[in-house]
Amino acid sequence: MERGTFSKYSWTDFVFSVIGVCTFLVDWGSDVWVATEFYCRGDFFWFGVLVGLMVLSSVVVQMFSWFWFKYDRELPGFSEHTGAKSVLFGDRVKLSCLLHVLQLGFLFRHISAIRQGFRVWWRKEEGSEYAVYLTHDLSMLRLIETFCESAPQLTLMIHVILRTNKARTVQFVSIAASTTSIAWMVVDYHRCLRAFLIDKAKQGWGSSLIYFLWNLLLIAPRVVALALFSSVLPGYIAAHFLMLWFVFVLWAWQQRTNFMDSVCGEWLYRSTVGLIWYFSWFNVAEGQTRGRSLIYHSFMTIDGVILLVTWWCYRDLVQTDAFVLPLLISLPLTYLLGLLFKTLYYCCFHPKLWRPLGREPGLPSDLPDAEVSFRDFSIQDSTPSSTLVNKRMACHATNFYTDQRVLRNPHGTNGAEPPHL
């Protein structure tokens, strides 16, 4: 079993950070443009909904960012890994708190990651592990921001087009920005997950492409189905969301998630997972992954059929006659194709395929056979590991690559737990 060293910060990490902040600013700018357009045209209801989504998304992301900032400061030896000059805010807690209250914490995290990445990649200074650490946090925050704002906003824009039977340039720009944000989040998130695999090179960009197509083909019909339903019964979409969101939050609680380091933070995480599950599957716990995924996709298929049937019954026969048949055929086929790509990923690109037939010599006898090989970041005698690893992204990677050959500690049961970073 390889012990493996963690990925060093590279020029691709820097490029991803720069593109990430660019997509964030473009998405934010398009939001402001659309909101201004709604307000100037007197569409105050849609203006209120859009601003509400922007505020909700920003608040949720800032809360996660602040929680993680507090957690990291409480970790023993964290400042030794990062160094005062490596952190944009240093130990200035009040300044960081003010920036998060002003909804600027997420933006300044981007700036901090680019700054740290530039020092490591261009100037060849120390701090590569902390630069990677920052990019992993940003990837998770973008995941949250995408499903709190971009996916709902994409649904809203399609809803507006269907209700008015016309589309303005600003709406196409908003749809393009939201779609780009979702697509970039999917690619960047999978790239960060791969960083925790020992044999990362074996899971090349082909796996990211399949991962991207699978998510795109599953999210797209879900968003369109919700927009179609809301276009005929706009008063019921909120009830539909709240009902499913409540069920999803309870399901996340039943799975006993342990992602955050505080009770309040954990319930914030479960509530956010409920929102993500409204649009897409997201594994939050180890074990029984296939069973939970099957339950989820079966439930969402039934819900999608109900949404489409409802739209069919209440639709405007004249306005929808031109596209009703292609839509009813393409949406189920797209979702089915997404499931096929997901199956293809697990059959051809999943790291479990790299597992040797026999048990490697020297491995502990109590190690499960169906686990994934992860990089080891063990610590001894309660002292911080020499390798700085983001516990939050490591947790997501473990959940995503579950049912595989995971080796968190090559020393067996005598080793210490990984550093909670």
Q: What is the pLDDT of residues 284-294, one digit of tens each?
A: 887 777 889 99
Q: How many CB atoms lie within 10 A of CB 126?
A: 11
| Mean pLDDT computed over 356-367 | 38
Q: How confident is the model at residue 373 (pLDDT cuts 50, 70, 90)?
A: very low
| Mean pLDDT computed over 196-205 | 61
Distance CA 156, CA 150 (A): 10
Give the pLDDT of residue 50. Answer: 94
CA quadruple 352, 353, 357, 361: dihedral positive or negative? negative
Distance CA 275, CA 152 (A): 10
- DSSP 8-state class, residue 357: S
CA quadruple 282, 19, 137, 242: dihedral positive or negative? negative
User: Is pLDDT above 90 for 372?
Assistant: no
User: Is pLDDT above 80 for 32?
Assistant: yes
- Whether the full predicted model's pTM is greater than 0.85, yes or no, is no
CA quadruple 124, 127, 132, 136: dihedral positive or negative? negative
Amino acid, single-letter form, for residue 80? E
Give the pLDDT of residue 79. Answer: 63
Q: How confident is the model at residue 418 (pLDDT cuts 50, 70, 90)?
A: very low
**Under the phi-then-psi rule, with left for phi > 0, alpha for psi from -120 to 50, and beta for the rest, what region is 167?**
beta
Distance CA 187, CA 209 (A): 8
Alpha-carbon distance values, 316 to 311, 322, 358, 401 (Å): 9, 11, 62, 45
User: Is pLDDT above 60 for 355?
Assistant: no
Burial class for 335, CB neighbours closer than 10 Å (0-12, 13-18, 19+):
buried
Q: How confident is the model at residue 353 (pLDDT cuts 50, 70, 90)?
A: low
Here the tokens at position 104 are 């600027």
Element (H, E) at 396: helix 391-400
User: Is pLDDT above 90 for 223?
Assistant: yes
248-273: per-residue pLDDT in tens? Answer: 999 999 998 888 989 999 999 999 99
User: Is pLDDT above 60 for 41?
Assistant: yes
133-173: per-residue pLDDT in tens? Answer: 888 889 899 999 999 999 999 999 999 999 888 878 888 88
**Half-sphere exposure at residue 109, Cβ-oriented, CA atoms within 13 angstroms:** 26
| Mean pLDDT computed over 215-219 | 91
What are the counts of helices (DSSP H) followed by strands (DSSP E) for the chain?
Answer: 15, 0
Q: Please provide the average confidence, as pLDDT, over all residues in the chain.
A: 79
90-103: per-residue pLDDT in tens? Answer: 557 788 888 899 99
Give the pLDDT of residue 47. Answer: 95
